[in-house]
Structures are given as C-alpha cells and as structure tokens.
Chains A and B, each alone.
Chain A
Amino acid sequence: MKDKLIKVDYLARVEGEGALYIKVKSGYVVDVKLKIFEPPRFFEAFLRGRNFMEVPDITARICGICPIAYQMSSVHAIENAFDVKVDGILRELRRLIYCGEWIESHALHIFMLHLPDFLGYDDVIQMAKDYPEIVQKALRLKKIGNEIVRIIGGREVHPVNVRVGGFYRAPSKKEIKQIEDDLKWARDFSIEAVKFLAGLEFPEFEQDYEFVALRHPNEYPFNEGRIVSNKGIDIAVSEYDNHFVEEHVPHSNALHSRIVNRGAYFVGPLARFNLNFDKLSDIAKKVSLEVGFKPFCRNPFKSILARAVETVYACDEALRIISIYEEPSKPYVDFTIKPGVGYGCTEAPRGILYHRYKIDEKGLILDAKIVPPTSQNLKMIESDLWKFSATYLNLPEDELTWKCEQAIRNYDPCISCATHFLKVHIERE
C-alpha cells in the first residue's frame, strides 16, 4: 500500500480553528495530529481579581455557541462555595434555559454542521437545494431553541439575565407561555428527525469507550448530579480533580484530559444517552427504541442520533416546565458571601463542563479552573482517528479525508472553548 498524507489545514464546520494531519507509511498509520491553532485567550488568568457577580458574564464569552453552559457551571460553582441552594421554580427556570441552548446547539450541529457529511454535501446551503423542507424545519427548530434562551436570558448569544442565586428578572408567565405551541411543533419535528436520521448510513466503527456524564437520581442531567462512567467512576463533582488530569502527550501540542491511571474518555450526548437512558422522558425513550437506538451504543457516528433524541427530550422537558411555570415572588435567592472553594459541573451540549473557583472574603476570585468538554474529548478524538483511518485505508484519499473529518465532527468539537487552556504550538511547514 502506498504512503499517504491526509492533511486538512482548516477543519470546516467546527467551532474554532484546528487542523488535521494523518501520516500513513507502508500501510500503517504512523502519526495522527489534531492541531489546535486557535490562539489562547487566558480566561483563567484574567478571572482572578474579578468580583464573583461578573463571572457568569465573563465566562459566557468563552463560547458563543454554548454561553449558557459556561454561565450555569459558573453560578453553580460559586453557589457551591457560598453554600447556597437554588430550588423550586428558579431551579426549573435554569433547566428551561438550558433546554433552549441544547435545542439550538443540537439543531445547529445535527443539520448544519454534521448532516451534510452523511448526505454528501459541503454545507447546509447546498443541502438545502435538495432538502429544502428539512432545512427550513431545522432552522425553525433552531430558532425555537434560541427563542427560549432569548426570553429567559435577554438574547441568544451571551445572555445577560443569569446571576449567582438565580436571575436578575424572572420572566412573566405570559412570556413563558408564548413559546408553548412552537415547542409542541419542535417536539414533533424532533421525533420526525430521529426517524429520518436513523435511516442514515453509519460507518461500522466501535471502540470500547469509557463514557463519562453526570447522573442525577431523578432527572436527565443538566446542572446537577454525580460524575459517573461505565467503567466504575461514581464521584461527587468536588472530587473531579482527583480523577481527571490534563497532560501533554508527545504527538500533540494540545493538552489532553485523561482519567487518572486509565486514559481517554468520551463526554457528550452519546455518553449522556448511554448512562442516563432510563431518565429520558417517555416520548424520547419511545422514539429511540422504535428506531432501534438504545444503550449501550459504542458507535461514535451515532452521536448524531443521540443529539436528536436529546432534542426530543429537551422539547419535552421544556414543555413540562412551561406547564408548571409560575412567576416566582423574587428572581433570586439571598446568600452571604464567604471565602472558600466551589465546584460546578454541568452538561454543556458537548458534554461535562467543569469549573472550580477559589473566592476570598470579599467575593473576589483568587483562582479559577475551567475544563471544557472539547478538551476532555480531544484524546478520544485522536484515538478514533488512529483506529478509524487504519480500518479505512483502502478508501480513495478524498473520501478517507472526508470520513476522518466526519469522525471529528461526531464530537461537535468547540475549539474556541478548548483553547483557553490548550498549549498552542504552531508548526509551520
């Protein structure tokens, strides 16, 4: 077999900038690099000295795609440090805004970033020519997710309403009710989407993954739960640093997260689906079983299906919250500032997002640690690429390249998020 070099200088349809490089010699894959050249932005450094109330506004700016995730992990970590519990309808409202972000982000990724690969298009615009109806419906679905975020948060990107203790203003019942009919439509379309996506052709590829996700006794996880895996992890969020480390591996310039004494792991929709299937709503479970998609699924290409099932769930959960919503008498709970360390982990659309803050007696941040889902998946993505490219070396080069790009997009990587911690080293050829 001849030597090959798969090189993609700029990965398309991912958030942020990265490159892919695979080297094949005498029929063997000898090098795989997922290069990250997105410049570092130093969030952990400039969070020091900021007041705790500014943190959710600042961390939102790590990512324009999932600002709610950053705000939610921040406020939960800070509330953990202050020993404050946000309960009742305010807690539900936080779940509702997270539903909005999941619907928006999942719709974006499923239809605009990932599906064109499966159907053989360069982008959604080309795809729209042959599938106008599905693209128009997908845009409407995405808009409905955005609408939830806008009503509760003030705007779609970098919402302004999330604060430690709850919200600055609780939306009225009327504001919340206005999205109910749209959401019913969104749920129906998501169900239709699961059935459509189940008919796609998925490459046969499986690995013995360690899936990691939050798990909560009563609900599909958004903001709270223990961190669990299918290989024995079951820890409180505050124990994260004892079990997960970031390290520099020789073949990559990016820091990779790994489980202590073990290795790569997989976070995101497929991990959540596999570890929390029993907590999905009946409607989401039913459609999932109908198309034969059930745990334990070890094919990363089926992440697109997990995303669609989660979209059904998020619509369903949003409808449940809307049906019980009453405007609270006060939009936030009171608390006392106290020095200490707080831990927070929530389920961003792309997987667990861990925050840790050390806070002084005045409420100023002394130290911050933020581990985005993409950084936790990087090692797994590279591992997939090693094995996947080795299996498909017979494919023509352009097809193999495309398949490898698709394998990366399975994880919906958000490189913008990842880089504020990554070691970046630009290698110029």
Chain B
Amino acid sequence: MRTKKPKLAVWKFASCDGCQLSLLDCEDELLEVVGAVEIAYFLEASKATIAGPYDISLVEGSITTPHDAERIHKIRKVSKYLITIGACATAGGIQALRNFKDVKEFISVVYANPSYIETLNKSTPIADHVFVDFELRGCPINKYQLIEVISAFLNNRKPNIPTYSVCMECKRKGNVCVMVSSGIPCLGPVVQAGCGAICPSYNRGCYGCFGPKETPNVFALTEHFIGLGLKSTDIVRILRNFNSYAEPFRKGSEAYER
C-alpha cells in the first residue's frame, strides 16, 4: 500500500541499538509518529520494508568495516535528508577508543583467530564519509530531541536543539554545582546540553554523553581538574568515553597523553 506520507528509514551501523530504541521508547508519541510518517525501513521494529528513496534517513552507529564504509554511500544516495543519531554516528562512539591504540592488538585480545576479523583501524563518524544534514548528539539521544528533529525536517524548519553547555540545564534545574561544592570533576562546562543534566542531579559529575558543546574551552577545564588533584592519566580517561574522537576531546586527551 503506497501512501503520500513522508518515508522514514532507520539504519544501523556499529552501535548498541540504544538510539533507535529511543524511537520505540516514545511510548506516548509512537502511534502519533507512525501516523505522521511511513516507517519504510526499520528492521528492529518491522520485517516489512519499502524501497527508497526515503525522505528522512536516521542513521545510528559508526563506520568500522570496509563493507559499512560502502553501505553508507548507498544510503546517502537514497535519502533526501540524512540525520545521524547518537554518539556513535556523530563521533565514532565508544568503539572509537580503538583509534588511539593498535587495533590489531585489540583483535588479538578479544578474538582467538584474528584472521576472521574484518575491521577498519578506526571507528569514524558518518560525516567523515558522506554529507550529513543534521547530527543529533547523545549516548543515548534524548527521545524528545529526536521527535523535535523529525518534526522540524517534516516541516522544513530548523530543529530547535541547543548547542550551549550542560551547565545551563543544571542551573535551570536548580542543582548545586557538584564541582564547586564537592570538588567532583564534571565535564558539564564543555559538554553540550540535551540530557537534562542528569548526572549532577544524581550527585555525580557529567561524563560527557552529548559530546563537546559549541566552542568548548577544554583546557581551561582540564587544568582546573589538575587543581582538583587529578593526574594526566585520569584526564585522558575522562575525555575518552563515548565521544573520544570528537575533535576537542581528542586533542584534549592527546595533550595529556604526552
């Protein structure tokens, strides 16, 4: 059955499935979302697939194999708008930790027979391979931001996604600053808002799920961490999580590795 509704496709690369699950986690909105678009390709949810082109392609996961490096070009060709969802697709994800090491050594640690493993030396974001219309951050993404982005593209407007820091959300929530009051290292000042400042609300420092904010001053913060008593090796680890390959975090961590 063909309808005139815009066609939505969801694609997966190296990832944990958490970001596409966020779409299924829109329990209250799910039936409305599927009323507004035609889910044309979403294997986690349906075995039915409809051929492209697609109006919106949501892409989860990072590129880690030669096969996937090819596949993303095919997806770009059949997509009017290509939107990446989550830290893997926008920054290479947790699996980009290999980018700082020798992947061959990684393979030999995990796998008994390394010759069977077909993998690239680096885990890279989708935008390193094809043009991306919009990058939605988060590990995982915020489902309300996802609905905002889909709705914005369906209505030809700019998505209203903040690029300021987690600190702004934290202040608005009325949290007491965990770094100022308790000396807990917190990445909040350099990390993009979107999660709702969850970690400080749970008495811990932000660990950077949403990646670097616009124009972050990473060194000012990491030098402050040194003042709190952290060692260089601690700072390298703090910056190397789910967005370790995002440039400001990558450069920051490399500076402390020397």
Using CB atoms and an 8 Å cutoff, list the residues of chain A in contact with chain B: 10-17, 37-46, 48, 50-51, 54, 57-58, 61-65, 67, 108, 112-113, 122-126, 128, 135-136, 139-140, 142-143, 146, 154-158, 160-161, 163, 167-169, 248, 253, 331, 405, 414, 416, 420-421, 423-426
- Assembled-state Cα–Cα distance A46/B116 (Å): 20
> Within 8 Å CB of A16, what residues of B?
12, 17
Q: Which of A17, A43, A160, A426 contacts B118 (CB 8 A)?
A: A426
Say whether B46 contacts A125, CB under 8 Å.
Answer: yes
Say whether A13 contacts B25, CB under 8 Å.
Answer: no
Question: Which of B105-113, B124-132, B212-220 lies at the binding interface?
Answer: B105-113
If the complex has contacts A40-B110, A156-B25, are A65 and B18 also in contact, measured as CB distance less than 8 A?
yes
Closest to B204 in A: A168
Q: Which of B16, B30, B106 contacts A416 (CB 8 A)?
A: B16
Of all A-B residue pairs in the complex, the 8 with the closest CB atoms, nearest first, are: A64-B18, A123-B46, A12-B47, A122-B48, A45-B106, A143-B27, A157-B140, A46-B97
> Within 8 Å CB of B207, what residues of A?
57, 160
**Could you tell me the distance in whole angstroms from the C-beta of A231 to the nearest C-beta in chain B?**
27
Say whether A158 contacts B202, CB under 8 Å.
Answer: no
Say whether B112 contacts A248, CB under 8 Å.
Answer: yes
Say whether A63 contacts B17, CB under 8 Å.
Answer: yes
Interface residues on B, range: 35 or more
> Within 8 Å CB of B110, what residues of A?
40, 42, 44-45, 420-421
> Within 8 Å CB of B195, what residues of A?
155
Q: Which of A39, A43, A128 contacts B65 (CB 8 A)?
A: A39
**Could you tell me the distance in whole angstroms from the C-beta of B29 to the nearest C-beta in chain A?**
10
If the complex has contacts A54-B237, A64-B140, A157-B21, are A112 and B113 also in contact, measured as CB distance less than 8 A?
no
> Within 8 Å CB of B203, what residues of A?
168-169, 331
**Is B68's beta carbon under 8 Å from chain A?**
yes
Say whether B202 contacts A108, CB under 8 Å.
Answer: no
Say whether A122 contacts B27, CB under 8 Å.
Answer: no
**Is B22's beta carbon under 8 Å from chain A?**
yes
If the complex has contacts A143-B28, A157-B18, are A50 and B237 also in contact, measured as CB distance less than 8 A?
yes
Cβ < 8 Å to A, chain B residues 64-106: 64-65, 67-68, 93-95, 97-98, 101, 103, 105-106
Q: Which of B20, B68, B112, B113 contacts A39 (CB 8 A)?
A: B68
If the complex has contacts A13-B45, A64-B16, A122-B46, are A40 and B117 also in contact, measured as CB distance less than 8 A?
yes
> Within 8 Å CB of B139, what residues of A?
61, 158
Q: Which of A63, A160, A425 contacts B202 (CB 8 A)?
A: A160
**Is B170's beta carbon under 8 Å from chain A?**
no
Closest to B103 in A: A42
Say whether B27 contacts A140, CB under 8 Å.
Answer: yes
> Within 8 Å CB of A50, what residues of B?
237
- Assembled-state Cα–Cα distance A298/B39 (Å): 36
> Within 8 Å CB of B31, what residues of A?
128, 135-136, 139
> Within 8 Å CB of A414, what residues of B?
17
If the complex has contacts A46-B97, A64-B16, are A158 and B140 also in contact, measured as CB distance less than 8 A?
yes
**Could you tell me the distance in whole angstroms from the C-beta of B200 to the nearest C-beta in chain A?**
10
Q: Which of B118, B199, B201 contacts A425 (CB 8 A)?
A: B118
- Assembled-state Cα–Cα distance A39/B13 (Å): 8
**Is B34's beta carbon under 8 Å from chain A?**
yes
- Assembled-state Cα–Cα distance A424/B199 (Å): 36
Say whether A44 contacts B109, CB under 8 Å.
Answer: yes
Q: Which of A112, A123, A155, A416 contacts B47 (CB 8 A)?
A: A123
Say whether B17 contacts A416, CB under 8 Å.
Answer: yes
Cβ < 8 Å to A, chain B residues 39-64: 39, 43-48, 64
Closest to B244 in A: A46
> Within 8 Å CB of A126, what residues of B?
46, 48
